[in-house]
Chains A and B, each alone.
Chain A
Amino acid sequence: MLEMSGISKRFPGVTALDSVKLSAGRGEVVALVGENGAGKSTLMKILAGIYRPDSGTIHFHGKPVSIRSPRESSQLGIGIIHQELEVIDTLDVAANIFLGREPTWAGALKLVDRPRINSQARQVLARVGMAIAPEALLRTLSTAQRQLVEIARALSQNAELLIMDEPTSSLTLSETERLMHVVADLRSNGVSIVYISHRLDEVERLADRVVVLRDGRNAGELRRGEITKERMVQLMVGRDLKAFFTEPAETRGDVCLELRGLRTERYAAQPISLSLRAGEILGLAGLIGAGRSELAQTVFGIDASMGGEVLLDGALLNIRSPQDAIRHGIYLVPEDRRNCGLLTGMSVRENITLPNLSRFSAGGWVSRPRELAGAEAACAELKIKAASVEVAAASLSGGNQQKIVLAKWLSLKPRVILFDEPTRGIDVGAKAEIYQLMRRLAAEGVAILMISSDMEEILGNSDRVAVMHEGRVTGVLQRSDCTQEAIMQLAVA
């Protein structure tokens, strides 16, 4: 039914897909697996008509097609269930299913035919085994139900191929179970499914075939009977570590930051205990959605703590806001650089000096010369490449932006720095610089927690690795015990 071959896609500075092939037969469930950044999303966006491939061919029903827009994609019969559900909370179920294709009464006014929309919605909802009134507002539904609404929408457009991107990442166990049944039903009705998931146990159960991507290439394919977690993990990770990673710390200090039963808003039922020594880099690995960012945000005081204790040098801290964390020398380099890390519209100078303006001022009055000197010194120290410190932070490359976020904290005598995806979207050269910087800070006695979804980054820089899965720390590995397989096993738990 679907036959993609030789698909390549390059973005500035990075080859996302290199001659990838993917096929799916009628009524076949093909699982697409790979690490974060392996190219799964790019491949799906090509099918969705969001990206155009640089080369390669797509055949659908044996005919060559080119998909130029999401509309053309759905007209072909391809339905996409995104990880971030694209439904409108304030409309009801029927309206969401038929959004943009509402059945109307005859006549020039094009009034929406409510009875017809509801009865058609009921039919298609039955196909996904969902007994819910078409009039129910989306915001009253659970995540699992919303997902079924999306699937129903795709089916109502006569989708013959469904692409599901991490469909179970925010579902509970029993909801996942139901979704498995829906997928199996669809398969027996001849719908083809490309199933993207990090949850290898699901893939093991569900898939007729597994296609593994690694670094934008086909790393291998497993057929029914060959599909096991171990073999998938092997195919997903098997690659060389590059040379630019850092050497481990020779000496480590005492426990600096200690979390005792800390509970986050997202996983309030899961107490987390971790300790972080001065001078070490503790990698925090896990799949997206495992609760790692939430942990860092809770320690930093962005999210409210739901219980548990945070200790610094053995003393209990009461962190209720970022100001509290900053006062104790605990800093966060957030994942979302553009919205949380930086004020992109403000200048490099203003960004660097923002958290410690009082250092550059007297009696509340900012001294421009001192501020300028401070910002320029930070730029020189971290080798931030900007035309001047007065240009807007938005105009800089990702690597330089990340260095600005770091520069904000470095003059404030950090004790603990929480890095959340420190090198996402950053080119290789800047990555290496940031790794060196982390290692230098550790050598100066700073305790570093490095959240990363990049396996190489975790393995190459961590002195120890903690792995999280659905809000729990499933294991802590010493550097000597760290292998990609070991981490992946803990991450999929």
Chain B
Amino acid sequence: MRKELGILSLLAVLCILVAALNPQFLSSANIQNTTRLIGTYGIFSIGVGIVIVTGGIDLSVGSMFALLGVLLSLMLTQWHWPPLVAVAVVLILGALLGGIHGLLITRLGLQPFLVTLCGLLLYRGLARYIAADVVQGFGAGTGFEWLRDFTTGSIGQVPMPFVLMMIVAVVMWVLLHRSVYGRYLFAVGRNEEAARYSGINSRNVIASAYVISGSLAAVAAILLAFYTNSVSPSSHGNFYELYAIAAAVLGGCSLRGGEGSIIGIVAGTALLQVLRNLVNLLDIPSSLDFAVMGAVILIGVIVDQVLRPKRK
């Protein structure tokens, strides 16, 4: 809880600071856009965070956005598949890819870093090949207007991705923090061997985390594709896996596994987006975007390490 409070107060301080320096931060257009991004990023960051809780890592989500985005565009605009079918295919594919990662990691004993790094390379390459390295768009949206309006729309003033993220967050919070399955996730992350001695099927628990990550990445892929409205196969989703890992770590997940919380991951995501927003609003050259994020994360983890209660 201490970590969540830390990150939430950092977030609050940052918001007040930016708002004071540039009142535009609080304009409804800016808030809408920022929360829209927090929603999209939050969904896949939660998935990656679950994987991190089991002591693994998922580097493949950014490339999955490109591959699934390209496929979504082709299915809707070229092959004219019914939108619901296209969405279902994307979701199933995401879960399937995650499942393959999970199987490779738990059945063959490959390292999560390697498996998902290969995914990162593989899906990026496939996306570029399938799209012939040409930017894919959604045109006028003929035939799937409702889908586009749904993903880019709002409920009242609240952008749909944020609404979806809140739903995902609540479901995953219950799953991670209140269910038997969630306890097993923490247990295998803490010490897979001891979990096994307690009769937990640790291989299946770990593999399932990758399925969750792949599925949530697929949801985010649809939102992101319609948000950008065009999918450039070589750059769409670049580095997004790192946003997710940064958000999870900022939110209190330990890369050693066994620690983390949904509230922390969401707060971490929000913090990253507010930082990007700050770069924009405070006229910091946008080329410094990454540098600002890197510096803030570094300061955050240093402070956390220094304030951590000393252990024997």
Residues of A within 8 A of B (CB): 300, 302, 321-323, 325-326, 332, 334, 339-346, 350, 354-355, 357-358, 361, 364-366, 408
Contact = CB atoms under 8 A, between A and B. Distances in A.
Interface of B: 174, 178-181, 183-184, 186-187, 190-191, 193-201, 258
Contacts of B174: 365
A322 B179 contact: no
A300 B191 CA distance: 18
Contacts of B199: 322-323, 325-326, 355
A343 B179 contact: no
A302 B201 CA distance: 11
Q: Taking each of B181, B190, B198, which has the highest tally of chain A beta carbons within 10 Å of its own beta carbon?
A: B198
B181 A343 contact: no
Enumerate the 7 nearest inter-chain pairs by beta-carbon distance, A residue then B residue, closest first: A326-B199, A355-B198, A357-B180, A354-B198, A340-B197, A343-B190, A322-B199
Contacts of A365: 174, 178-180
B23 to A, nearest CB: 44
24 contacts: A321-B201, A322-B196, A322-B199, A323-B201, A332-B197, A334-B197, A339-B193, A339-B194, A340-B193, A340-B194, A341-B194, A341-B197, A346-B186, A346-B258, A350-B186, A350-B187, A354-B187, A357-B183, A358-B180, A364-B179, A364-B180, A366-B180, A366-B183, A408-B198
Given A339-B193, A343-B198, A365-B180, 17 more contacts: A300-B197, A302-B197, A323-B201, A326-B199, A340-B193, A340-B197, A343-B195, A346-B258, A350-B186, A354-B183, A354-B187, A354-B200, A358-B180, A364-B181, A365-B178, A365-B179, A408-B198
Nearest to A332: B197
The B contact surface, by secondary structure, is helix
A59 to B, nearest CB: 36
Contacts of B179: 361, 364-366
Contacts of A345: 190-191, 258
A340 B202 CA distance: 13
A116 B128 CA distance: 54
Contacts of A326: 199
A326 B187 CA distance: 18
A366 B198 contact: no
A334 B199 CA distance: 13
A339 B195 CA distance: 10
Contacts of B180: 357-358, 361, 364-366
A343 B189 CA distance: 10
Q: Taking each of A325, A344, A350, A354, which has the highest tally of chain B beta carbons within 10 Å of its own beta carbon?
A: A354
B187 A346 contact: yes
A326 B200 CA distance: 10
Nearest to B256: A345
Contacts of B187: 343, 346, 350, 354
Contacts of A343: 187, 190-191, 194-195, 198, 258
Nearest to A327: B199
B257 to A, nearest CB: 10
